[in-house]
A and B are shown apart, each in its own frame.
Chain A
Amino acid sequence: MNEYLIRKAEPEDIPFLADVVIASEKGMSDRLSFTTLFNKPEAEARELIIQMFEEEVDGCELSLSSFIVTEFEGKPISGSGAWIEGFNGNMPSGILKSNLISYTFGKESIAYLKTKSHIVKDLQIDREPMTLQLEYFHIKDEHLGKGLDAALMDRIEQNALAEYPALKKVQCQIFKNSVFSIKILLRHGFKIVKSYRSDNGDIFDYLPYNEKLLMEKVLKIN
C-alpha cells in the first residue's frame, strides 16, 4: 500500500473525476444517464461534467470537495466521492446537483429530460440529512485486489468523522447489477436496507438497471 498516495482531489484532477463519474454511472452497463436522459453524446456530456466540477459547488456528488483520489506513480488511479448531506446548512444535494445540471446542460436538455422523467422517477431515492453519502467509487482495473478499496473506505469515514464527529451513518445508492461494488460494500460492513424497482419497460434504455439498492453502514460510537 505504500506506493499509493490517498489525498483530497484538486482542480487538476477534474478531467479524471469526470471519467470516474462516467465509469461509476455506467456501472456494469454501457448506459450513461447524462447522455440518455439529456440527449447528449458522451464526449459532450464529459465536457459538461467537467464544467460542473469547475463551478466548485460544495455538498453534492458533483462537488470537487467531495472527492478523494489515489495517486500511483504520480497519476490518479482512483476517485471516490462522499459528502455529509445538508452539512453546514447546505441545500439538499439533489437540488444542488439539479441546479448544476440546469445551469450547465441548457434548456434543450432539460426539455428532453421532461419527456423521459416518468421512466426513471421510481428510482429517485431521497438522501437522509446529516448522513455520509457515498457516490461514485472507481478504481482502475489494474489496481483492484490490492486492498485499496478498504483503505479508501476507511479514509472517507475518517475524513467525515473529523468534520462531523456525531456522524452516525454512511449510505450508498447503488444499482443492483453492480455486483462487484455491492460485494465491496458488504465486506466493509454495509447492509442492504431497501430496494427500489421500476417496472417501466423502457428503463434499460436509460439507466444501467431497473433496481436500485439503498445500502447503509451504522458507524460505531467511539
Chain B
Amino acid sequence: MDKVLITEKLTAIFRTVFNDEAIVLRGDLTANEVANWDSLTHMMMIGEVEKDFSIKFKLKELGKLENVKSLVDLIESKIGSQGLQ
C-alpha cells in the first residue's frame, strides 16, 4: 500500500474520530491544529488505525509521532514489516 492510499484511509479515520468531515490531511498537521484531538480521541484514533491497517504500534513508536507525515511513514513501514492482512 503506498502513501497516497494510506493517507486516503487515514483521512476517513480522522474525519470519523475527530467528527469533522472537512479535515484535510497534510504532512505537517499536528494535534494542536485539530479541534477535537484530545486524549480521548487520540486513543480512539490509534485504535482505529491499528484495526483498519491490521497493525500494532509499539509504545516507542507512538512516542515519536510528531505529525501526520510521521504517522503515514510509520504505518507504511509497519505494513511492510508485518504484511497487510
What residue in chain B is nearest A38 (Cβ atoms)? B43
CB < 8 Å neighbour of B62 from A99, A111, A113, A121 = A99
A-binding segment of B3-11, B20-28, B44-52, B76-84: B44-52
Question: A87-129 CB contact bits vs B (8 Å, 1 = yes)?
Answer: 0000110111111111100010011011001001100101000
Q: How large is the interface on B (under 10, 10 to 19, 20 to 34, 35 or more residues)?
A: 10 to 19
The reply to whether B39 and A102 form a contact with Cβ atoms under 8 Å apart is no
CB < 8 Å neighbour of A94 from B38, B44, B58, B62 = B38
The reply to whether A97 and B39 form a contact with Cβ atoms under 8 Å apart is yes
Total of A-B residue pairs, C-beta within 8 Å: 57
How many whole Å from A37's CB to the nearest CB in chain B?
9
CA–CA, A98 to B43, complex, Å?
5
Contacts of B58 in A (CB 8 A): 103
CA–CA, A21 to B31, complex, Å?
27
A55-B59, A57-B63, A107-B51 as given contacts; A102 in contact with B46, CB under 8 Å: yes
Starting from the known contacts A55-B59, A98-B42, A99-B63, 13 additional A-B residue pairs (CB-CB under 8 Å) come to A95-B31, A95-B42, A98-B40, A98-B43, A98-B46, A99-B62, A102-B43, A103-B57, A103-B58, A110-B43, A110-B44, A117-B40, A126-B38
